[in-house]
Structure 1
Amino acid sequence: MRCIPWIALAAAVTAGCAGPGAGPEVACPAIGYLTGISLTIPQPAGISRATLDACWRGQCVTREVVLGPDTTSVASPCTGGPDSACAASMVPTGGLRGFAEVPGLPAEPVRVTVRFDDGKPHTADITPAYSEPHGAACGKVGPQAQLVAGPDHELRAA
């Protein structure tokens, strides 16, 4: 089989172009993935904004965490037979959620300090990690970490 390298369409990529002994081709999504730290605040009484400082290896970066309503999915009942369509809807949890993009964030210990509206520092040590959201064949992305703020605004890794 002759492979034409200048055709970039996914439909043109076949296992026949992989060469002898190669495994099947895997289609990996071309979706961006941000490196950073997410923050969830289940009980946000008195919180409307947050600033995050992340420090590692003697350097620190400060980022605003844009907070928005936290949601969860709720399944709708399925009706009909095995070919029927089911659905889910997103409903607010009453909490807040945000993400701070932190370029250069390492997959090693990082000290994070978050300041909410009152300006008081709340600190936690975390270790961001790489993930393979599209499977091992598509490679690692990240790193990312997740923080949760408790009732007294104390931070913990999620």
Structure 2
Amino acid sequence: MSGLSVLAVLGGCGADGQTCTAIGSPPGISIDGPGVPDALLGDAVLEACWNGDCREHDVRRWSSDRQHGFAEIRELPAEPVRVTLVAEGRRLGPVTVTPEPTWPNGEECPAGGPAASITVDRNGTVRPD
């Protein structure tokens, strides 16, 4: 196998020989809702605002207990963002978070998308994590 083929398979290496895989790390806001009734987080959207512009993003579920979600926001900046969770006609928040780059393979490899997270309690109170 040629050196280029090995590099393509591994996805690159960091300065210390660490493997940098092609693992994804999409930009977005994760939502944790321990103890929140399923109905409240049923068909939720996340409103994200920065630089005077607000947009809604669908919240996708990835856990079977439906208490964890993620709103992918491709253009999410690594600067303060005001977020409001809109669920079942209720506006929960707003709260300000500052997304930071993620490092799925460690800091020797290229950064993934910026991300932040919020938690919603059973009373609908939102707080940044």
Structure-2-length-normalised TM-score: 0.80
Which residue of 93, 97, 102 corresponds with 1:131?
102
Shift of 1:146: 0.6
Q: For residues 62 and 134 of structure 1, what CA distance do their matches in structure 2 show? A: 30
Shift of 1:137: 1.2
Which residue of 26, 30, 36 corresponds with 1:44?
36
CA contact 1:110–1:125 (8 Å) conserved in 2: yes
Q: For residues 63 and 43 of structure 1, what CA distance do their matches in structure 2 show? A: 23
Which residue of 71, 82, 85 corresponds with 1:114?
85
SS in 1 for 2:108: helix
Q: For residues 9 and 128 of structure 2, what CA distance do their matches in structure 1 show? A: 44
SS in 1 for 2:95: strand
In the alignment, which residue of structure 1 is the partner of 2:59? 65
**Identity value in percent:** 32
Shift of 1:121: 4.2
Higher Rg of the two aligned structures: 1
- Higher RCO, 1 vs 2 (CA within 8 Å, ≥6 residues apart): 2
Greater strand fraction, Structure 1 or Structure 2: 1
**Structure 1 unpaired stretches of 5+:** 14-22, 71-91
SS in 2 for 1:138: coil
In the alignment, which residue of structure 1 is the partner of 2:126? 155
- What is the total number of aligned residue pairs between the two structures? 122
Superposition RMSD in Å: 2.5
